[in-house]
């Protein structure tokens, strides 16, 4: 058993009040929640400030901590409301920590006087040990590391942690196919952004590859189970995090109980066996260790099996009518919640069980639309009498908690001054063509840019703007430091970074660039979308920023008014739907795959990452004059050769320009 002073906290999710109380009943050390706004799980019920004030006071009375996720991308029009919400949180809830991804939230925390901890979300994509010192100096207390890291990479980050900085590691729950913070799939296909907490999970759909339909991108869950014992030996790992703010109290209770048992008594074989049994009953998907063991990396997709959330308990019969009869393979309890089929199927629905049904018994229900014969039925939540009683007891305690009624906030954030008085006046702009290799010819008036690669020949590097990759993994860090050094020695002085944290790769050159100053821009994968984030970039030393292409017209045109940096925008070319570290075993790259709606995509591997591209690109070139008038100084045209088998597109995309990004 570990010394309690060194034990990582078991951090449980809660998407509603009942799940919060279930986490307390299970003995969670900390609980993370979201509000009605600015949460990366907006499809959960989430909490009002008033609800959260009472729940946090109850948790505090039991020496438990509450963290609030405000981890969405912040639009220009969001800054004031985000600041008011943070101000109300600080005054009426006083949570132990805030989980954020957008640099604006770090700025607002300082402005509002919030005194709790700041945790950088996994959406911020902190994956380089060399960046941790600068992150700690920003006032960040904890980094939530990407799920893709293996144990040796986690240890490398831990070894580089300044004394004030801790790490948080996911140990259980749903996996995204793409890297967090590097997925634009849901947004590209309809304006519901994962960075805004609105993901519609297009990766869970069926895709057609050469006539074979399957859920090629749908992942099983992460379940580190007994492997968490290796994390327990790393003192910088402050928390074992369980994903699941959209899950019910049963899942929260069982997973939290299991990992608390593994932490406190994992050396005992009987305890390990009991904990694994709880995880088997938690109603999640099939689990995997994913990439945790570097010598045994595991593809979490398995098209041959179901990847629906919940426990498979039955299948529908062959009848095509609305009246359905199923025979469950496990006993069902009154109040159990079942899901029929997958969420992208027309007959998908949830069914509440109204009476106890024995194993092999008969459950009758009316379907909204007749399901296909053999459709799987999943048990997704249940209310055992013991858990219900524990929750009821905590609810009675909660009813006796008295807190001040939250009032309104009059907080007004201080915004930076714009470079040109809101984009007024003449702006000189340039078009940058971004290619994978030196182009044979250039468009008239365009300047050349290249995606930097470790083995690239750098002849004439001074003539190019060099773009860094969206993700650099810990085991690649030295390779990329050497690549940047080689490019600099070859004369390169203009770089576009794939994450703000890549700045540390240039530290040796910032103070003594030869010839002319080193010019570093934050690229579009930095997900910059508001003036406060731009102010933070300026403080860090950036010379400009290519803003997030996810934004809609109104947001894009509003940004220059308060931008302290020159701005760029991606107006043309092959924008990826996502970046993934998963090396697929069920399909080959460079092959077209079609969704049920006929949307064709394809994948290509660069280094350790697969890029997923739609067959159609962005074209906003006719908006460049309007963007120039607003104050934009640079437009990026991104080129990617398309595989021969991918059909020619029959449309173009304006991304979210004409939509209201929610």
CA distances from 604 to 475, 614, 643 (A): 21, 11, 9
Closest CA to 231 of 502, 478, 11: 11
Alpha carbon distance 340, 455 (integer Å): 50
Closest CA to 380 of 312, 329, 302: 312
Confidence (pLDDT) at 423: 44
Confidence (pLDDT) at 421: 45
**H-type helices in 26-95, by residue range?**
49-61, 79-92
DSSP labels, 224-283: -GGGHHHHTT-TTEEEEEE--TTS-HHHHHHHHHHHHHHHHHTTSHHHHHHHHHHHHTS-
pLDDT over 70 (residue 375) = yes
Confidence (pLDDT) at 270: 96
Left if phi > 0, otherwise alpha if psi is -120 to 50, otherwise beta: which for 27?
left
In the chain, what are the domains?
8-178+197-292 (3.20.20.70), 311-382 (2.40.10), 430-638 (3.20.20)
SS3 category, 623:
helix
SS3 category, 568:
strand
State the average pLDDT over residues 222-230.
95
Alpha carbon distance 335, 250 (integer Å): 12
At residue 427 the predicted structure's pLDDT band, cuts being 50, 70 and 90, is: low
pLDDT over 60 (residue 22) = yes
Structure tokens, 612: 């997923």
Structure tokens, 494: 């203009």
Q: Which residue do the tokens 């290249």 mark?
A: 450
Q: How many residues does the chain have?
A: 662
Residues 6+ apart with CB under 8 A from 420: 427, 560, 631
pLDDT over 50 (residue 288) = yes
pLDDT over 50 (residue 567) = yes
* β strands within 302-445, DSSP E: 311-315, 323-326, 337-340, 349-352, 363-366, 376-381, 430-435
Alpha carbon distance 40, 197 (integer Å): 4
Confidence (pLDDT) at 445: 62
State the average pLDDT over residues 67-93.
94
Structure tokens, 655: 């991304």
Structure tokens, 531: 């003036």
Closest CA to 363 of 411, 318, 331: 331
Residues 6+ apart with CB under 8 A from 564: 416, 417, 418, 419, 531, 534, 535, 538
Residues 6+ apart with CB under 8 A from 600: 592, 593, 594, 614, 615, 646, 647, 649
Q: pLDDT of 493-533, one tens digit each?
A: 999 999 999 999 998 887 665 445 799 999 999 999 999 99
Cβ-count burial of 340 within 10 angstroms (0-12 exposed, 13-18 middle, 19+ buried)? buried
State the average pLDDT over residues 319-339.
89
pLDDT over 60 (residue 443) = no
Residues 182 and 579 sit within 8 Å (Cβ to Cβ) = yes
State the average pLDDT over residues 83-93.
95
Q: pLDDT of 628-650, one tens digit each?
A: 999 999 999 999 999 999 999 98
pLDDT over 90 (residue 2) = no
At residue 306 the predicted structure's pLDDT band, cuts being 50, 70 and 90, is: low
Share of the chain above pLDDT 70, in %: 94
State the average pLDDT over residues 391-402.
97
Q: Which of 21-25, 164-168, 367-371 has the lowest mean pLDDT?
A: 367-371
CA distances from 196 to 39, 296, 558 (A): 7, 34, 18
Confidence (pLDDT) at 322: 83
Confidence (pLDDT) at 190: 76
Cβ-count burial of 189 within 10 angstroms (0-12 exposed, 13-18 middle, 19+ buried)? middle
Triad 94, 62, 122: Cα angle to 5°: 55
Residues 474 and 157 sit within 8 Å (Cβ to Cβ) = yes
Mean pLDDT of the chain: 91
Q: Report the 10 Å Cβ neighbour count for 621.
A: 14
- Higher-confidence position of 317 and 25: 25
What is the helix (H) or strand (E) element at residue 398, kind and residue range?
Answer: helix 385-399
Q: pLDDT of 99-157, one tens digit each?
A: 999 999 999 999 999 999 999 999 999 999 999 999 999 999 999 999 999 999 999 99
pLDDT over 50 (residue 3) = no
Closest CA to 284 of 7, 69, 13, 21: 13
Closest CA to 502 of 529, 465, 533, 541: 541
Confidence (pLDDT) at 515: 41
pTM for this prediction? 0.93
């Amino acid at each position: 058993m570990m010394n309690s002073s060194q034990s990582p906290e078991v951090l449980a999710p809660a998407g509603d009040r009942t799940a919060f109380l279930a986490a307390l009943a299970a003995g969670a050390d900390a609980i993370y929640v979201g509000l009605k706004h600015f949460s990366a799980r907006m499809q959960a019920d989430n909490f009002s400030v008033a609800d959260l004030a009472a729940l946090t006071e109850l948790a505090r009375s039991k020496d438990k901590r509450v963290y609030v996720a405000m981890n969405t991308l912040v639009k220009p029009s969001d800054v004031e409301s985000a600041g008011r919400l943070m101000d109300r949180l600080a005054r009426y809830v006083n949570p132990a920590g805030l989980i954020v991804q957008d640099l604006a939230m770090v700025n607002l925390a300082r402005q509002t006087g919030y005194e709790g901890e700041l945790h950088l979300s996994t959406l911020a994509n902190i994956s380089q040990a060399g960046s941790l010192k600068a992150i700690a100096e920003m006032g960040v207390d904890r980094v939530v590391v990407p799920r893709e890291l293996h144990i040796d990479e986690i240890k490398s980050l831990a070894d580089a942690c300044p004394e004030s900085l801790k790490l948080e590691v996911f140990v259980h729950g749903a996996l995204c196919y793409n890297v967090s913070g590097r997925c634009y799939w849901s947004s590209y296909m309809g304006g519901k952004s994962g960075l805004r907490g609105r993901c519609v999970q297009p990766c869970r759909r069926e895709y057609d590859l050469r006539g074979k339909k399957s859920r090629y991108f749908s992942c099983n869950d992460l379940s580190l189970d007994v492997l968490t014992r290796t994390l327990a030996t790393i003192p910088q790992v402050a928390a074992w995090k369980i994903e699941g703010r959209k899950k019910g109290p049963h899942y929260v209770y069982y997973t939290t109980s299991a990992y608390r048992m593994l932490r406190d008594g994992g050396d005992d074989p009987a305890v390990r066996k009991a904990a694994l049994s709880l995880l088997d009953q938690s109603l999640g998907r099939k689990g995997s260790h994913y990439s945790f063991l570097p010598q045994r990396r595991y593809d979490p997709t398995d098209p041959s099996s179901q990847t629906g959330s919940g426990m498979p308990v039955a299948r529908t019969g062959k009848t095509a009518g609305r009246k359905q009869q199923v025979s469950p393979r496990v006993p069902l309890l009154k109040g159990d919640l079942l899901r029929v089929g997958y969420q992208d199927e027309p007959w998908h629905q949830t069914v509440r069980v109204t009476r106890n049904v024995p194993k092999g018994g008969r459950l009758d229900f009316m379907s909204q639309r007749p399901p296909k014969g053999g459709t799987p039925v999943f048990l997704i939540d249940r209310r055992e009498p013991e858990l219900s009683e524990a929750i009821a007891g905590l609810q009675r305690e909660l009813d006796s908690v008295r807190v001040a009624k939250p009032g309104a906030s009059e907080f007004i954030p201080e915004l930076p001054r714009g470079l040109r008085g809101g984009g007024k006046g003449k702006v000189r702009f340039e078009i940058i063509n971004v290619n994978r290799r030196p182009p044979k010819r250039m468009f008239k008036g365009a300047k050349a840019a290249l995606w930097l690669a470790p083995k690239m020949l750098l002849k004439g590097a001074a003539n190019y703007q060099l773009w860094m990759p969206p993700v650099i993994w810990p085991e690649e860090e030295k390779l990329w430091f050497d690549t940047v050094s080689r490019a600099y020695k070859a004369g390169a002085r203009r770089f576009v970074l794939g994450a703000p944290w890549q700045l540390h790769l240039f530290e040796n050159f910032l103070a003594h660039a030869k010839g002319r100053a080193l010019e570093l821009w934050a690229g579009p994968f930095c997900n910059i979308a508001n003036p406060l984030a731009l102010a933070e970039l300026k403080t860090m030393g950036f010379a400009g920023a290519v803003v997030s292409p996810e934004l809609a017209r109104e947001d894009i045109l509003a940004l220059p008014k308060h931008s302290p940096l020159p701005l760029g925008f991606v107006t043309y070319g092959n924008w990826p739907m996502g970046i993934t570290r998963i090396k697929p075993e069920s399909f080959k790259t460079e092959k077209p795959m079609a969704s049920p709606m006929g949307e064709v995509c394809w994948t290509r591997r660069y280094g350790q990452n697969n890029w997923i591209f739609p067959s159609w690109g962005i074209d906003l070139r006719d908006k460049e004059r309007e963007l120039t008038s607003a104050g934009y100084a640079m437009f990026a045209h991104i080129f990617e050769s398309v595989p021969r088998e991918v059909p020619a597109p029959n449309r173009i995309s304006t991304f979210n320009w004409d939509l209201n990004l929610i």
